[in-house]
Amino acid sequence: MPNDCITYQNSGYFSKLIVDYLDQKAELKTLYNRFPTLENFKLQIEEKSKNFPIRNREILVNALLNQHQKFEISEATSTNIELLKDSKTFTITTGHQLNLFTGPLYFIYKIISVINLTKELKITYPENNFVPVYWMATEDHDFDEINFFNFKGNKIQWEKESKGPVGRLNTYGLEEVFEQFSSELGLGNNANYLRELFKKSYSEHENLADATRYLANELFKNEGLVILDGDDLELKKLFIPYAKEELLHQTSFKKVNETLPLLKEYNVQVNPREINLFYIQDNLRERIILENGNYKINNTQLSFSESEILTELENNPKNFSPNVILRPLYQEVILPNLCYIGGGGELAYWLELKSNFEENNITFPILLLRNSALVATKKQVEKLEKLGLNWSDIFQNQQNLINEKTKEFSDLTIDFSEQKAFLKNQFEALYTIANKTDKSFIGAVKAQEVKQLKGLENLEKKLLKAEKRIYSEKLERIIQLQNELFPNQSLQERKSNFADFYNEITNFEAFFSLLHSDLQPLKQNFSLVIV
């Protein structure tokens, strides 16, 4: 069985910024606190211990107990919530949108990365406790990004209007989605399990936040996962001083803009706004804009003076929601957190934020790239072996892969490098002659060289094309296999839902157990999971 190690750096699926971060390039070291190694967590624990008030722990635990009271949680989750009162307890956190039925696979991988890291840390630092946390992005508004999931190559979509925070959105209309999903499932125990899971998640809960909490809890409750909703009055009260600082002094705007020049070689993930807060209500989520000393709520008639908006903040902190620039700060204010686990895009904007954390005297967490995995069936592995492929091959760009395999299959040498080198040597002699005569002759020699080299390149391409036709059947099988594993020539984890594997697995408990055993968060390589 092929067993290649596909590092994130050589997979071809991560940005230069993330590759350079993983390689610990010197020019990026000022943008993060500590690199994610087991040894570095010792200093992170010490720093966070000195910088997280006991009072915040009490408020956090009470908020979590209140949020979970309508749900049946496991003993492991209940214990973890209570442990958060202890000054020796810390969290490992990931955040994610409220994707319909978990959305793409990387939602699952994020949470397993968090769970597995807490277990690894407990072994290394047994005197401490480590709690896995899933932060639900209930205050997001990008409904179009989360209102669907892919199943069997089809888009299962929830058609609905949404203007406010998605977590407050009622679940009306999901009955039709259930019927569509159910009809695609067919028969069998796994199909029935998925039906029941979907129905109980969305039909028995009034809003998307509760539905997602139920779903995530059902999938991970035995692992002690704690699910947190930041759209919470008591938690928002802890953020009042930082929101006030933002309103009065626009600190995050200034500090992040100071950082951006350090990232000039890369594509900047997000740009800060002057005020990085939204004003939210059930059907409203709009930016707060400072104009001529007044705080206006974008696209509304609402407007506050300085004293009025500070009073509103004190009286109704739940109406204030941090955007992508400030949400990480809010998270670290309310959690005794050591590490944030996220995707490449998330880590890219986190790397913009350290100076703002320092300005607010909040410990910047360790940043860890979430696990990535490729799930393949035993049949697909057999096909891979029969076709003489390894995992490194299958990760390649499709056109490059086909070209490479054609050359490998062919009895001919489809490489005219030797001929091109010979031709260049011939022209070197002509250039020697040309330099001794009229300069116009040099131009004629150069033009002829370019023409003949181009001719050789065209011949090489035509030979490759001819050989592709000879091996077309075998090459088509390679394309078909790669398309199965990389839907739309994208990473499987960005397209496929966990439900896609219901016909290949014994049961979902076994499937998740396999994922838990294969995903190793501190290793920077793809996990290859065979089902």
Summarised one tens digit per residue, pLDDT across range 200-250 is 999 999 999 999 999 999 999 899 999 999 999 999 999 999 999 999 999
The separation between CA 427 and the C-alpha centre of its own chain, rounded to angstroms, equals: 53
| Residue 73 backbone phi and psi in degrees, to 5 | -110, 160
Query: At residue 530, does pLDDT exceed 50?
Result: yes
The mean-pLDDT minimum among 52-56, 258-262, 424-428 falls in 424-428
Q: Which pLDDT does position 414 carry in this prediction?
A: 66
Looking at per-residue pLDDT, the higher value among 459 and 73 belongs to 73
Alpha carbons 391 and 407: distance in angstroms, whole number: 18
pLDDT of residue 439 exceeding 70, the answer is no
In the predicted structure, residue 140 carries a pLDDT above the cut 70:
yes
Phi then psi for residue 48, to 5 deg, are: -65, -35
pLDDT at 407: 77
> Is pLDDT of 2 > 60?
no
Q: What percent of the chain has pLDDT over 90?
A: 82
Measured in whole angstroms, how far is the alpha carbon of residue 509 from the centre of its chain?
A: 24
Question: Is the model more confident about 491 or about 268?
Answer: 491
Q: What is the mean pLDDT of the chain?
A: 92
388-428 pLDDT, tens digit each:
999 999 999 999 898 888 878 766 666 666 676 776 776 77
pLDDT at 82: 98
Q: What is the pLDDT of residue 1?
A: 42
* pLDDT higher at 430 or 285: 285
Measure the CA–CA gap between 530 and 512, rounded to whole angstroms: 12
pLDDT at 420: 62
> pLDDT digit string (tens) for 188-197?
999 999 999 9
Question: Residue 268 has what pLDDT?
Answer: 86
Q: Is the pLDDT of residue 367 over 50?
A: yes
Dihedral sign (CA 145, 146, 152, 154): negative
Contacts of 252-261 with CB under 8 Å at 24 or more apart are: 252/276, 252/325, 252/326, 252/329, 252/356, 255/355, 255/356, 255/358, 255/359, 256/325, 256/352, 256/353, 256/355, 256/356, 258/355, 259/31, 259/352, 259/353, 259/354, 259/355, 260/352
Whether the Cβ atoms of residue 274 and residue 253 lie closer than 8 Å to each other: yes
pLDDT of residue 464: 65
- The pair phi, psi for residue 339, each rounded to 5°, is -150, 140
